[in-house]
């Protein structure tokens, strides 16, 4: 059995200013990550993964300071040309559909490519053990959609833990 813990990173400067740039955590974000550390300090994980983006790596470092964190490129946020990393929490349903149906562009990732990337990551997970992954809103939401079909879309706060067994 696989015990998968999915964690959204703590608040970053890019979240705070709306730029979604690859930035470090805010002071509140550091406090969120330290609070998360108290929740997971007694847990043992076979594999600790983080997105290559600074906000996810930093959250993992603060939450599990003694862990060996493996950087997993497939856990990065959705990338849209000229917009950087896209915060889909700020988009309406029409904008999300447009991204999902966009034609392939070598300078950006469309919705289908993003979904395929997440599916590939899920399929590559070990079949057993305890895995914790520090990632982003859209990645976490897509993981939940694929791992728990029928689960309605939901708000996902900073440092929120979503635990799935399979």
Domain ranges, ordered by start, for the chain: 2-165
Torsion, Cα of 15, 23, 158, 155 (10° steps):
40
State yes or no: pLDDT of 104 exceeds 90.
no
d(CA 92, CA 97): 9
State yes or no: pLDDT of 109 exceeds 70.
yes
Segment 1-6 mean pLDDT? 98
| Confidence at residue 103, expressed as pLDDT on a 0 to 100 scale | 65
**CATH no. for 2-165:** 3.40.50.1240
d(CA 80, CA 98): 12
Enumerate the β-bridge partners of residue 142: none
d(CA 147, CA 166): 8
| Confidence at residue 16, expressed as pLDDT on a 0 to 100 scale | 85
Q: Quick check: 6 and 134 in contact, CB under 8 A?
A: no
Segment 76-105 mean pLDDT? 67
d(CA 101, CA 94): 11
Closest CA to 139 of 44, 60, 73, 43: 73
Torsion angles phi and psi, residue 4, rounded to 5: -105, 125
pLDDT tens digits for 122-165?
Answer: 999 999 999 999 999 999 999 999 999 888 877 899 999 999 99
Phi-psi region of 65 (alpha: psi -120 to 50; beta: other; left: phi over 0): alpha
pLDDT tens digits for 29-69?
Answer: 999 999 999 999 999 999 999 999 999 999 999 999 999 99
Closest CA to 27 of 39, 38, 16: 16
Global pTM reads: 0.84
Q: Quick check: 23 and 1 in contact, CB under 8 A?
A: no
Question: Residue 121 — very low, low, confident or very high, per pLDDT cuts 50/70/90?
Answer: very high
């Amino acid at each position: 059995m696989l015990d998968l813990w999915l964690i959204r990173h703590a608040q970053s400067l890019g979240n705070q200013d709306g730029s979604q740039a690859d930035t470090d955590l805010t002071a509140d974000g550091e406090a969120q990550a330290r609070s998360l550390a108290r929740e997971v300090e007694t847990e043992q994980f076979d594999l600790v993964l983080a997105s290559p983006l600074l906000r996810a790596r930093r959250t993992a470092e603060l939450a599990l300071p003694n862990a060996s964190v493996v950087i997993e490129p497939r856990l990065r946020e959705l990338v849209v040309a000229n917009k950087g990393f896209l915060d889909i929490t700020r988009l309406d349903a029409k904008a999300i559909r447009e991204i999902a149906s966009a034609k392939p562009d070598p300078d950006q990732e469309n919705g289908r490519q993003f979904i395929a990337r997440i599916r590939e990551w899920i399929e590559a997970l070990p079949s057993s053990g305890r895995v914790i992954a520090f990632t982003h809103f859209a990645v976490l939401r897509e993981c939940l959609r694929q791992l728990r079909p029928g689960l309605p879309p939901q708000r996902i706060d900073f440092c929120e833990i979503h635990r799935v067994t399979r």
